Amino acid sequence: MKQNNVDPFSANGRAKMLRELAKITDIQTAKKAQKLFNELIQSYGLSHLFE
């Protein structure tokens, strides 16, 4: 995230971030990262900040 200008608060930004992660690692890792990110958002009650 430090190297790319990606807005993690927008759906498009998160999708771009996960596509880049999939290129670096693999699609399964990107899907796990997305699931973890969504779980963190929900557990802290921050879903109102994300589109």
Identify the helix (H) or strand (E) that includes residue 39: helix 27-43
Q: How far apart are CA 15 and CA 34, in angstroms?
A: 9
Give the residue among 29, 34, 26, 31 at the shortest CA–CA distance from 8.
34
| Amino acid occupying residue 21 | L
Model pLDDT, residue 51: 74
Token pair for 42: 């929900």
Please tell me the predicted confidence (pLDDT) of residue 6.
Answer: 86
Residue with tokens 């693999």: 26
pTM of the model: 0.81
pLDDT in tens, 2-50: 677 888 899 999 999 999 999 999 999 999 999 999 999 999 999 999 8
- Residue 16 DSSP label: H
